[in-house]
Structure 1
Amino acid sequence: MPDSRRLATLVRSGSSVHGELHRLARLLAAFHARALRGPEVSAQGSAAALLGRWADNLAQVYRFRSRVLTEATAETERLALRFVEGRGELFDSRVGQGRVVDGHGDLLAEDVFCLDDGPRVLDCLEFDDDLRRVDGLDDASFLAMDLERLGVPLLGDAFLRSYAAFANDPAPEALHHHYVAYRAFVRAKVACHRYAQGDGDAAFEARLLERIALDHLRSGAVRLVIVGGPPGTGKTTVAGLLADRLGMALIADGGLYGPADGGSVDPLDHAGRLLRMGESVVMDAPWAREAHRRAARRTADASRADIIELRCAAPDDLVMRRLGLRPTDDGPAVTQGAAFQPWPEATTIDTSRTREDALARAAAAADPRPPLPEWIPHHPLMPPD
């Protein structure tokens, strides 16, 4: 195979590889469609199997913490295990759909050759059958991760989306992020061991891969955002805009408020199912009562999801105009909710300005990711945060 046609070589030279990646995604999906399946293969796609692989890799890099890797490894561990522990239904459904295959297992850009008559993929993982038996999306995520390592994350994302389309795989975005993070962490482990064997340059690569893993784990964290407030404060508008902006499912308040004992919790049951399947959720309801907020927190906790609580607010005169009330009406008790119980956990979203301003504030509160550790490097070809 000509070295000049390696995918890694073409990427490093700045050549356009969009067409090659599209064809490669189709080739990989076709390979997975006819790949070996069965009980032994499917067992490797379970949540328990993935937890085991994470645990093995974390144990193998423990001695490199603070020496090659950073203290951020602890956050990587927490986010990775939390995601898998809360997504048992998602992984079970993937197994049931036949998504777990005897795949390639080591899809690096160095081993892909882009020829005139189509791509060639070499060097599958052979030393451990179980490590090759993975979810097809996990297999494809290896190359997406490697393209990001090479400084072209948008190409990696485009390849993964093309693969999902060819494989007819409507997996949640969170699962895309998780598998890319897992593959990055595996390669970080490999780089750590290369460093221990005398490869001084491998330390930079290990920290770069650690950054990629942590960034994707943060991006893929499953969230429940509850958006509340008294009538006329704009909660429904904010909730809808926020769900669209962040690509989350939207659940309205129907059925949430019933008898004094807490009423129906069907919407929360629905939210819990979505969270367990890897979908983040925005819930639009008044959330006037602390009992309902506690129920939402329990739902998030049971699904190992983050909860973000937002309360919309606006001045009385504006709320009254929105509700069509006159200044002589008994407005404040109606508009601001005399029975609205204190909500100190919520971030207040002022909706008295433009929709864009309220959405920006809500989006910032709903995605409160801290900056990555300063000494985890950027790839020189990647844009800054």
Structure 2
Amino acid sequence: MALPEIIQALLDPAHYPEDAPVEVKLIQTQMSFVLLTGRHAYKVRKPVNLGYVDYTTLEKRKLFSDKEVSLNRRLCPDAYLGVIPVTRRNGKIRLGGEGEIIDYAVKMKQLPAEGMLDLRLKSGNVTTEMLESVAKTVSSFHDMADTNGEIARFGEMDGIRRNVEENFEQSRPYIGRALSQAQFDRLKTYFDKFLSENAAVFSSRVEERHIRDCHGDLHSAHICFRDHGICIFDCIEFNDRFRYGDTASEVAFLAMDLDHYGRADLRRVFVDEYARNSGDRGLREVLRFYQAYRAHIRAKVACFKLDDPFVPEAEKAEELTRARGYFDLEMSYIRAKPVLFIMSGYTGCGKSAVASELARHLGLVYISSDITRKTLAGLPLDQAAGDEVDAGLYSREMNEQTYQSILMMAEGALKSGDPVVLDATFLSLELRKKAVDIALRKGADYVIVECRLDESELARRLEQRMTGKSVSDGTWQVYLSQKAKAEPVTEIPTGPNHVIIDALLPVTDNVRQIVDNLI
């Protein structure tokens, strides 16, 4: 569908009031068009009524534009510059100026892309200190956020149940596209059961004044690191009930998003630092519930784009993949027990690609033998060891130390209730048994993921690896050494605890097979 006349006009740099940009870029959300000029961002609301948001009249778009600026100045005061009219004069549309007001735009400073947390997560350029700073900022914000009798009502059972039921009603049309009927039913059963069994917990959250006027949409794409501080922007203005809620729900949103990016390690840092700063002793009682709830929200919002006539087909395909990933993550949160995934296979067979993607789908703590080995040796991750097979960094002693370390880390994570993926070869029966024993001792489930690959393809991949940088030092000689000593996975039959994947298939297909095995 063609873009609205207003947006087509505003894509022309000549239609801007001052310092005309060289180029204007357009980003679409479900409810808005965002125009980026390099210096500023202009947000124009779509005239939509989605039930929970109504922008259908000019007056409403003005009201919510003003409200957006006011609310977002709480956490990002200098970026929100105000609301300006979109005018038409002598048939020409422009931002500001004289003429008939045909719409409104929120004007912001354009935030630096290199500071956006979601982009930094994709590039791996995020430190624990950054998440600690976010936790302190959010904790201070929650401490000062408004609360009163009206706001507190949204933490009561009726309000929470209403939001949960709305989630399921709005995602029901996407059964068979973004999630299966079995997933939908299991998720619905979990939420109904949790709500019915934890009324006293939710009541205590209200009594302890944890229901506040929050941000409402706290995920990584709305956090920007700048030289002069953190900017948390784009809070929910269009519906108070999505902003009024438990501070634990807000924490859970970012925690879930960090899991979605495969950074459960940063999620643990963020939650621990928030709990320490806020003194919220009951946070963890409801955290996983709210993580599941927030994953469902992100999934359904991605689903909504599937029916948006302004969204291109290629983008819809990406949104469908994103929705499925969030539903998978939600399924992981509702499991009664954490899961230990034990990767197994020769060097170069694609274990790490599957393990890291699996971590993103299921919010797993990702533990790599390659990373651990080089960390123990004090080597940069991309520096080749240069050692012979079975010597130096890959000596028997170093192998034992590496596996001892990753197993200890897995045990610690499982003890905290976190699911884990161990990315290592696990070609030894003894080492696999040690990993399984840890899972059983900690009351966790386990799955051995055996990665198989045709030898000629494996040789090609190992040769290709030599031309670039890799954490792994696996070579053809290493493979031959592993092959001579390997003990096949015969102790556990294929089924719920032993999945065999073909590494010739796309990583997404293999992850789908592993995830479906859990349902």
- Superposition TM-score tier, normalisation by shorter sequence: 0.5 to 0.7
Match of 2:207 in 1: 96
Match of 2:269 in 1: 158
Please give the per-residue CA displacement for 1:246-265, whole angstroms capped at 9, x wherever unaligned.
569xxxxxxxxxxxxxxxxx
AA at the equivalent of 2:176 = S
TM-score by length of 1: 0.59
2:325 paired with 1:214 = no
Q: 1:358 to 1:190 in 2, by over 3 A?
A: closer
Question: How far 1:130 sits from its partner (Å)?
Answer: 0.9
Please give the per-residue CA displacement for 1:276-315, whole angstroms capped at 9, x wherever unaligned.
xxxxxxxxxxxxxxxxxxxxxxxxxxxxxxxxxxxxxxxx
Question: How far 1:68 sits from its partner (Å)?
Answer: 1.9
SS across alignment from 2:237: coil
Match of 1:53 in 2: 163
Q: 1:168 aligns with which of 259, 272, 279?
A: 279
SS across alignment from 1:24: helix
Q: 1:69 aligns with which of 149, 156, 179?
A: 179
Q: Distance in 1 between matches of 2:184 and 2:210?
A: 29
Q: 1:24 aligns with which of 134, 141, 145?
A: 134
Partners of 1:104 and 1:124 within 8 A in 2: yes
Q: Distance in 2 between matches of 1:10 and 1:360?
A: 33
2:347 paired with 1:205 = no
Question: How far 1:18 sits from its partner (Å)?
Answer: 1.4
Question: How far 1:146 sits from its partner (Å)?
Answer: 1.6
Partners of 1:41 and 1:101 within 8 A in 2: yes
Query: More strand by proportion, 1 or 2?
Result: 2
TM-score by length of 2: 0.44
Q: 1:36 to 1:368 in 2, by over 3 A?
A: same
2:152 paired with 1:39 = no
SS across alignment from 2:335: helix
Q: 1:357 to 1:59 in 2, by over 3 A?
A: closer
Question: 1:272-287 alignment to 2 at 5 Å?
Answer: none
Partners of 2:439 and 2:445 within 8 A in 1: no
SS across alignment from 1:114: strand
Question: How far 1:17 sits from its partner (Å)?
Answer: 2.6
Please give the per-residue CA displacement for 1:100-156, whole angstroms capped at 9, x wherever unaligned.
100000012112111233211011000000110111111121111122222222212
Partners of 2:255 and 2:291 within 8 A in 1: yes
SS across alignment from 1:218: coil
Q: 1:125 aligns with which of 223, 232, 236?
A: 236
Q: Distance in 1 between matches of 2:171 and 2:510?
A: 19
Gaps of 5+ in 2: 1-110, 339-412, 418-434, 448-495, 502-507
Match of 1:351 in 2: none
Match of 1:106 in 2: 217
Please give the per-residue CA displacement for 1:158-187, whole angstroms capped at 9, x wherever unaligned.
212221221101125341111111100001
Q: Distance in 2 between matches of 1:101 and 1:204?
A: 33
Partners of 1:175 and 1:220 within 8 A in 2: no
Q: Distance in 2 between matches of 1:360 and 1:112?
A: 36
Greater radius of gyration (CA): 2
Q: Distance in 1 between matches of 2:252 and 2:177?
A: 28
2:202 paired with 1:85 = no
Partners of 1:177 and 1:220 within 8 A in 2: no
2:298 paired with 1:187 = yes
Q: 1:136 aligns with which of 247, 259, 264?
A: 247
What percent of counterpart residues are identical? 25
Q: Distance in 1 between matches of 2:510 and 2:145?
A: 38
AA at the equivalent of 2:225 = C
Q: 1:358 to 1:208 in 2, by over 3 A?
A: closer
AA at the equivalent of 1:206 = A
SS across alignment from 1:69: coil
Between the two structures, name the one with larger relative contact order (CA 8 Å, sep ≥ 6): 1
Q: 1:170 to 1:367 in 2, by over 3 A?
A: farther
AA at the equivalent of 1:98 = R
Match of 1:279 in 2: none
Q: 1:357 to 1:7 in 2, by over 3 A?
A: closer
RMSD (CA atoms): 3.3
Q: Distance in 1 between matches of 2:330 and 2:227?
A: 34
Q: Distance in 1 between matches of 2:163 and 2:446?
A: 29
SS across alignment from 1:201: helix
SS across alignment from 2:216: coil
